[in-house]
Structure 1
Amino acid sequence: MPTPEKTSLAEIVRVARDILEMRGLTGLTMQAVAEQVGVRSPSLYKRVEGRDGLIRLVAEATLTELTERLRAATSLEDLAGRFRAFGHECPAAFQLVATPGPGVPLARHEFGAAASEPVLRWTGSIAGEAQALEAARTFTAWGVGFVSMELNHGFNLGGDVDQAWEFGVSAILAGIGSHHPRL
């Protein structure tokens, strides 16, 4: 009779993401995950293709959650707020998918494409379909940069960072909207 499964792949990924948030990417090891799910680390290899595969699965789960949040947005301002909130709630996972760094395993393309879809839709609605990709890239680059600076304590000149966010969102949206082809 086969040995019963002690844990699911979903549980392994959930635990790995929790470890990522608590210990960072260097603390995300197969041994740490195995200890948390209550199996020996060689047992994880039945479900995951090693640490790189585990990191990729965490990145994909992160993008799946982010996509769900962004799809629920009711405006581009709401989408921006949801993006920022996600970064604050899951800072290590956010940085894993937004600024992974050299050599870090990436999610498969379709996960990033799914997360991009709501951004493309909303930016296209104000910039025009012909400019949707450029607008989405501009909007995303600004948002990732701002949130990354927040997470890394990069705003050191005083002032209200929330006001700076609101100012930035307004300025980016005005700039994107100014490129909409007028009939």
Structure 2
Amino acid sequence: MPTPERTSTEQIIGAAVRLLEDGGPAAVTMQAVANAVGVKAPSLYKRVRDRDALLRLVGEQAADDLTRRLEAASGRLDDALLAFRRFGRERPEAFRLLFTSLVDADRLAATSAPVLRVTEAVVGPAHALDAARLLTAWATGFVTMELAGAFRLGGDLDEAYRYGITHLVGSLRTAQEPERPAHGS
């Protein structure tokens, strides 16, 4: 008779997510996850090849969570940017993990889809990717600096983020297309 399963992949990922958010990537060890789900570490290897594979699964879960949040936004570009920041603030370690080579490119591409849709609604299809990259780079930089405590000059960060959204999205809505620099400039 086979041994009954004492844990599931979902429970393992859930424990790893909690450990990640509580202590960063260094806290996500096979032993710590095994302890959290109530099994011996060797039992985890039936479901997860190694620590990198486990972190990859956690990253995929984070990408899926962010995708759901972006999909649930109102369909307005500013709401998508607010959802992006909210994810980073609520799940800072998962946010950081998204920007590592561990996360599957297809999962990240799925995260990009709702951003591209709302960006296309503002700038049209010809420049949707350019605009999405601009906004994603700005929002990622802002949230990364915020999480690192790098904004030390005071002021209201919520107001600063809304200011950035207002002006960046507003600049994308202008009727006149800016001149693009020549290649190699």
- How high is the TM-score relative to the length of structure 1? 0.92
The separation in 2 between residues aligned to 1:4 and 1:174, in whole angstroms, is 58
Is 1:31–1:41's contact at 8 Å kept on the other side of the alignment?
yes
Contact 2:123-2:172 at 8 Å conserved across structures: yes
Aligned residue runs from structure 1 range 128-147, under 5 A: 128-147=124-143
Letter in 2 for 1:22: D
Give the C-alpha shift of residue 175 in structure 1: 2.4
User: Which residue pairs with 1:114 in the alignment?
Assistant: 110
Aligned to 1:146, the other structure's residue is in SS state helix
- CA RMSD in angstroms comes to 1.3
The aligned residue for residue 39 of structure 2 is 39
Percent of aligned positions that are identical: 48
Q: CA–CA distance in 2 between the matches of 1:148 and 1:162?
A: 14
**TM-score, normalised relative to structure 2:** 0.91
Distance 1:119 1:136 in 2: 6
How big is each residue's C-alpha offset from its partner over 1:66-86, in whole Å with a ceiling of 9 and x where there is no partner? 101100111111111111111
Alpha carbons 1:60, 1:111 under 8 Å: kept: yes
Aligned residues: 176
Report the residue type matching 1:178 in the other structure: T
> Is the 1:66–1:83 contact (alpha carbons within 8 Å) kept by the matching residues of 2?
yes
Unpaired segments of 5 or more residues in structure 1? none
Name segments (4+ residues, structure 1) moved above 6 Å: none
Structure 2: unaligned runs, 5 residues or longer: 178-185
Partner of 1:92: 93
Q: Aligned partners of 2:173, 2:12: CA distance in 1, in Å?
A: 43
Distance across 2 between alignment mates of 1:162 and 1:91:
17
Shift of 1:125: 0.9
Cα deviation 1:15-47 (Å, max 9, x = unaligned): 101000011111111111001001111110100
CA contact (8 A) 2:97 2:103 kept: no
